[in-house]
């Protein structure tokens, strides 16, 4: 956790990446794409806590089909700005066996977390795995997984806002920012 005055300094020195209106338009577009593909599937939607909470909260009301909902909690970052070892905190409580599962996450960075989630969900017996991410970071490197639905492409910088945090702060921003110098 970053103290309040330091959090404000981080935000005040950050570079804007996406305005709130651009974020909202991306969520609307992804909702339409998902609805078109999964209208008859009644999928189990799994939100990845805590980064995907804002994306999930804005996306779910726009999905125009019946679905079941649960969450998982897995992280490689904690309060750090560099990914570390994968830590599973909560597995799906809903049975995924023989289900179409749609996983919602905030960002596809290096892809290790989402690939591990895919492997876990399929090992639990899911019939089909799909993923939607708000942002796909343009790292310039090959990733072990690609998302089926992508809201925006983000620069290869440390970004925060709209569910993504910087040292625990600023998940609540409606826009996206990048750390200066990242």
d(CA 44, CA 65): 12
Q: Which of 140, 175, 150 is nearest to 160 (CA)?
A: 175
d(CA 75, CA 120): 14
Give CA separation, 150 vs 25, 144, 155, in Å: 12, 16, 14
* Longest pairwise C-alpha distance within the chain: 49
Decide if 158 contacts 178 (C-beta within 8 A).
Answer: yes
- Positions annotated as catalytic residues are 109
d(CA 60, CA 41): 15
d(CA 92, CA 129): 14
């Amino acid at each position: 956790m970053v103290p309040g005055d330091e959090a404000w300094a981080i935000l005040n020195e950050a570079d804007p990446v996406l305005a709130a209106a651009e974020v909202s338009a991306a969520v609307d577009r992804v909702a339409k794409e998902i609805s078109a593909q999964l209208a008859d599937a009644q999928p189990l939607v799994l939100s990845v806590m805590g980064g995907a909470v804002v994306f999930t909260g804005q996306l779910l009301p726009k999905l125009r089909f019946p679905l079941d909902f649960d969450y998982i909690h897995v992280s490689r970052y904690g309060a750090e700005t560099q990914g570390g070892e994968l830590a599973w905190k909560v597995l799906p409580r809903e049975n995924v066996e023989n289900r179409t599962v749609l996983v919602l996450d905030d960002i596809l960075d290096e892809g290790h977390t989402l690939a591990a989630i895919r492997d876990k969900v399929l090992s639990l017996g899911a019939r089909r795995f799909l993923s939607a991410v708000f942002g796909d970071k343009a790292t310039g490197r090959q990733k072990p997984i690609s998302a089926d639905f992508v809201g925006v492409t983000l620069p290869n910088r440390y970004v925060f806002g709209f569910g993504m945090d910087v040292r625990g702060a600023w998940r609540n921003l409606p826009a996206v920012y990048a750390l200066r110098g990242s």
